[in-house]
Structure 1
Amino acid sequence: MPTDELIRHYPSLASADRSELDALPVISAPAGALLFDVGQPCQGFPLVLDGEIRVSRQSSEGRSLELYRVVPGEICLVSSASLFGHKALAATGVTARASRLVLLPPPLFSRWLALPAFREAVLGLFAERMADLTALVDAVAFRRLDQRLAAALLGRGHDVPVTHQALADELGTVREIVTRLLHRFERDGWITLSREHIHIIRSAELRSLAGDG
């Protein structure tokens, strides 16, 4: 177990028992691996050493909405809420790219919450995640989809390697609607489309649309 690497990403663990840290196994998972799913009991508290975890909810119609992503140094809100409340998991976690992580067993997580530094770090990151989700709810509930799509395209450079389905998943809608809006943007001369690729021509117009309302 690379304990020093774990403490570098999660400094609050410096006060934990070193032998317990050393004994934690490292889990390696390829991109696209299912780490946890809705309705399952939480197997532990994930601490990411390398890579990225995409946490999402899926409707009965198969539509997916990305809630957040977990990278090294961050926590999974869904996992911590499950452990705090002793309830089943409320979302799905899939590796967005090849990842390495440590899974704190529930009894160890509960015991380490008695450590002031660890408890304060977990609760502080929990609050940050809640703020992220509040912003997501505001975006989904109060912003038009074309505004949200324009915002999703910005900040990725002028050449965006992305599929329409990936954008639909990110925005919590269906691919057909995203495709329709992208073709509208193309007709307006803001972007050009090719297979799994979007080239942004007029980012100012996208930025103006994203900031409206």
Structure 2
Amino acid sequence: MNSSAPNAAQIEDLLARYPAVAALPAAMRESVLAEHAVALQVPGGTLLFSEGQPCQGFPMVLKGEVRVARGAPNGRSLELYRVQHGELCVASTSCLFGHAVLAAHGVSTEPCELILLDPQGFAQWTADEGFRRYVFGIFADRIAELMALAEAVAFQRLDQRLAGALLGHGAVLQTTHQQLADELGTVREIVTRLLKRFEREGCLLLGRERIEILDAAALRALAGGQA
């Protein structure tokens, strides 16, 4: 993990991806970026923050993606959401607002570039009404997504959830059975069994770290609860 003070190009990228930051009073924005911000460059698979630990700051993604998940003592995890450029991390935000420890962990899924505000810098920016309103708006959107996830886990069958997870990524997915299991909060063996069932039914074709969708309509019907 490489860290440094944000350079001019990174700040320009930040303002383009986060309009609420660009809308801050210039003096407030520049002083916080100079005194309370660090730029991070991390490879894929880097653990950025851990459950039960204090939040080190407020991350803003410039490039790449961060997977945020909740772990269990048995080693399994349930993906909560992913953060891409221009988006915010609810786990970090709630931790900073509530002065509590983190309730989830975050891992980069690919090489990432981020700007991290320390807690003091975050507090200064959220004193601005416009920025605070922006943060709470994103927070509300994420909470709605998490409620939908909780509903799916509680009430949908796993085959429905897997069918839904396979859709929306094009005709070919480059992924592993373990990655799908992590996303759904289950174990690889169950995902493999369901994928083989889908293959027998003619919905997809399995390869090495590759899934080709053959019948998206059938998967869409299953994801919607139709037999």
TM-score with structure 2 setting the length: 0.90
Identity %: 55
In 2, Cα distance between the equivalents of 1:146 and 1:197?
Answer: 19
Partner of 1:52: 65
- How far has the Cα of 1:25 moved from its partner? 2.3
Partner of 1:152: 165
CA RMSD of aligned residues (A): 1.2
Select the residue among 18, 24, 47 that pairs with 2:30: 18
Post-superposition CA distance 1:33-52 (Å, at most 9, x none): 01000011000011111111
In 1, Cα distance between the equivalents of 2:18 and 2:205?
Answer: 42
Q: Which runs of 4+ in 1 moved over 6 A?
A: none
Partner of 1:67: 80
In 1, Cα distance between the equivalents of 2:12 and 2:129?
Answer: 20
- How far has the Cα of 1:79 moved from its partner? 0.3
Are 2:11 and 1:3 equivalent residues in the alignment?
Answer: yes
1:49 and 1:102 in contact (8 A); partners too? yes
Post-superposition CA distance 1:77-111 (Å, at most 9, x none): 00011111111101000001111111111011112
In 2, Cα distance between the equivalents of 1:57 and 1:111?
Answer: 29
Select the residue among 105, 120, 128 that pairs with 1:92: 105
In 1, Cα distance between the equivalents of 2:200 and 2:152?
Answer: 25
Look up the SS of the partner of 1:25 in the other structure: strand
2:69 and 2:104 in contact (8 A); partners too? yes
Letter in 1 for 2:33: L
- Structure-to-structure mapping, 1:61-210, within 5 angstroms: 61-210=74-223
Unmatched runs of 5 consecutive residues or more in structure 1: none
In 2, Cα distance between the equivalents of 1:112 and 1:192?
Answer: 50
Look up the SS of the partner of 1:97 in the other structure: coil
Partner of 2:47: 34
Unmatched runs of 5 consecutive residues or more in structure 2: 1-5
Describe the shift of the 1:17–1:157 C-alpha distance in structure 2 as closer, same or farther (beyond 3 A). Answer: closer
TM-score with structure 1 setting the length: 0.96
1:13 and 1:117 in contact (8 A); partners too? no
